[in-house]
Amino acid sequence: MLLREFIVYACPIGELNNQLEKYFTTTRAECSENAAHQYMPHCTLTGFFHDQLTAAPIYIQALDTALKNARHNCPSPPIVVVDIELKTDFHYLQLKSIWLEKLIANFANIANSKTRTD
C-alpha cells in the first residue's frame, strides 16, 4: 500500500490574492528568490495526514460538503488579519477565523477513510 501525504490549505482570492501576487513579484525582483517564493500563498488548515491516493475523492467530497454547510454562516469578513511578521527568511500574516476553524472541524468529522493511517 503506497501512502501519500495530504494537507488542506485555504488560498487567497480576489483583492488579497492580487496584493500578494504584486508583493511576491516585487520581493522577487528587489530581494531575489527566497524560500517563500517556492510556495503559493496559503493558510494551513490541517496538519499532514497520510492515505492512499485512491482516497483523495473522499477528502474532496468532504471539503466540498463542509464548505457548503459553512457558507450560510459566513461572517463578513470571514477572516481577520491579526498581525504580520517579517522574518529574514519568511513573511507571514497571522489570521483569525472562527468560521474557518468550524469549517475544518466539520471537514475532519465528515472525511472518513478506512485507509487513512493517522
Number of domains into which the chain is organized: 1
Three cell numbers at 16?
A: 488579497
- 27 pLDDT higher than 90: no
The answer to whether residue 97 is domain-embedded is yes
Q: Which is more confidently placed, 71 or 16?
A: 71
Express each pLDDT in 32-42 by its tens digit.
Answer: 887 778 888 89
Q: Give the alpha-carbon dihedral of 49, 50, 56, 61, to 10 degrees.
A: -40
Mean pLDDT score, 48-53: 97
Q: Is residue 103 one of the residues assigned to a domain? A: yes
Query: pTM of this prediction?
Result: 0.83
Q: Which residues of 12-45 are buried (b: 16+ CB within 10 A; e: fewer)?
A: beeeeeeeeeeeeeeeeeeeeeeebeeeebeeeb
Q: Note the pLDDT of residue 118.
A: 87
Q: Is residue 118 part of a domain?
A: no
Q: Which domain holds residue 44?
A: 3-110
